[in-house]
Amino acid sequence: MKLREPSGDLSLWNDGWYRFAAPLPSPNFGARPSGAEIDLIVLHCISLPPGQYGGDDVQRLFTNQLDWNAHPYFKTIQGVQVSSHFYIRRNGELQQFVSANQRAWHAGVSSYRGRSDCNDDSIGIELEGVETSRFEAAQYETLAGLCAALVQRYPIAHIAGHQHVAPGRKNDPGSGFDWQLLQQMLGLTDKYFPAGVLST
């Protein structure tokens, strides 16, 4: 696994845990393959139940504590074991479930930049939301800060959506996500982003 030499505040990271994220450790993770190069950030969106914000059901899902009987929708996902590295709530609050040095279970069957199984060498970030709605300014602020910290710490070369690494199977973060705004906030060149998401 490749890390960039820290070039600033060394206390930003502690064994893959980000200083500005509230830790909620998930059991759903594993070791990355030997020699994995963490060069991809995958953006997702999620809310549980779908379209309902502010609760703690996403956190319960990622930590295997969700009550499958608490809502009819939960029966449709009963038994799944998933996680992301980070979760950004509507108010911009940042939570972390898996060390960025470890392999979280967020992308599923996937392929991007000529490689399959994106979980092996990517960082997964979930935004509280749904695919067809816009995200909050506070979420973009947190996301940009997090992505900048990841770019400084790991050899990130690509930022894509779940819809780009699993096309036809996943559609998130969806039409409501403003890729142009994220690019402007990060100051990164077009080559970091999927083809077609940036206006010309």
**Is-catalytic flag, 126?**
yes
Strand ranges inside 89-191, DSSP E: 94-96, 103-104, 111-112, 115-116, 122-128, 158-161
Cα 23–chain centre separation: 15
* Number of alpha carbons in the 13 Å side-chain half-sphere of residue 146: 31
Judge whether 105 and 48 are in contact, CB under 8 Å: no
What's the chain's Rg over C-alpha atoms? 16
Q: Which of 5, 37, 93, 126 is catalytic?
A: 126
Give catalytic residues, as residue numbers: 126
